[in-house]
Structure 1
């Protein structure tokens, strides 16, 4: 893995994720409190991008199936609970999950040097 610049502090805000690239991999970066955090822009459910998902309280929601992930840890906090924002009842959630079990998304430690933000990717 190589240290890769992903953004500057001026690029990143606390109210939305920033989609960027690191060595050909799509990454989401955001500021949570006074900490910069990054995860892969690839939902582990079907591998779809999460950049256009809702972001609040340090959690990004996959816009396709509603899975939610902490941006600072990649931890899954909700697994497949909607389809394009429409909530699903219990049995439909299981069907939409297609037998896949809740899975965390890859996360990256963000380091800051001056105004530049880096990850190892």
Structure 2
């Protein structure tokens, strides 16, 4: 069963770590995903599989929120600069790229979740 409080706390930890990650761009964002997953996995406990699952959810949630925030902005900017077609393609391209980013965030968060859950038990 999914411990949603662990997932939400992992998500919050990932957001905070992601904001700090702008100081060290590539390593920082990978680390933010690992931290998000670690927190979710550690709080959920339950072994390797549970940690993977909770870390995956925390990372994916962070990526999906990123998509929901940036896609409308890109659609509006594309609409202003490129007309209706520009708005459509601007918004859709951000959604597709964002979903790929959400998948990548979820993968490293799953690894962090597995580590956190193993250390919690």
Structure of higher CA gyration radius: 2
TM-score, normalization: structure 1? 0.33
Higher helix share: 2
Greater relative contact order (Cα < 8 A, sep 6+): 2
Higher strand share: 1
